[in-house]
């Protein structure tokens, strides 16, 4: 079967750095997405990785290792507004998005 694993919940301090991991097992791979979802709202796109390595976009970076079936989302200089769920999703060989359950990130002052 296909599955995406990510931690259920993480807590971090305002101004700090946090890394959210995602491991996946899917039938084929056509890229990995990270989305941010605030409570009661739809997901918003953060990043897309299809090649190995690190993609940096402002305070957020995303890393991919296809051989390890592993990705992480790195958030720097955390702000209170970063409190949200972070969803990892993999596009499989049929171009279907397979979603993880999301990691709820709690930021404390």
Partner 1 sequence: GAVVSQHPSRVICKSGTSVKIECRSLDFQATTMFWYRQFPKQSLMLMATSNEGSKATYEQGVEKDKFLINHASLTLSTLTVTSAHPEDSSFYICSARAGTPRDEQFFGPGTRLTVL
Q: Summarize as ranges the residues that interact with partner 1 (CB under 8 A).
A: 30-31, 40-45, 48, 87, 91, 95-97, 99-102
E-strand ranges in 1-109 read 3-5, 9-13, 18-25, 32-37, 44-49, 53-57, 60-65, 70-75, 84-91, 97-99, 103-108
Closer by beta carbon to partner 1, 30 or else 61: 30
Beta pairing, strands 84-91 & 9-13: unpaired
Tokens (6 digits) for 68: 């390890």
Give the residue with the Cβ less far from partner 1, 51 or 95.
95
Nearer to partner 1, 44 or 65 (CB): 44
Please report how close the Cβ of residue 97 comes to partner 1 at its closest, in angstroms: 7
Shortest separation between residue 35's beta carbon and partner 1, angstroms? 8
Q: Rounded to whole angstroms, what are the CA distances from 46 to 1, 7, 11, 59, 67?
A: 26, 18, 20, 11, 23
57 or 109, CB closer to partner 1? Answer: 57
CB of 43 to partner 1, least distance (A): 5
């Amino acid at each position: 079967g296909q599955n995406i694993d990510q931690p259920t919940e993480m807590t971090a301090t305002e101004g700090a750095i946090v890394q959210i991991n995602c491991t996946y097992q899917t039938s084929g791979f056509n890229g990995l997405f990270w989305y941010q979802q605030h409570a009661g709202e739809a997901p918003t796109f953060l990043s897309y990785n299809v090649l190995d390595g690190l993609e940096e976009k402002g305070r957020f970076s995303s890393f991919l290792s296809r051989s390890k079936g592993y990705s992480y989302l790195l958030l720097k200089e955390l702000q209170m507004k970063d409190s949200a769920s972070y969803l990892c999703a993999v596009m499989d060989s049929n171009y279907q998005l397979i979603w993880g359950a999301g990691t709820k990130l709690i930021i404390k002052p």
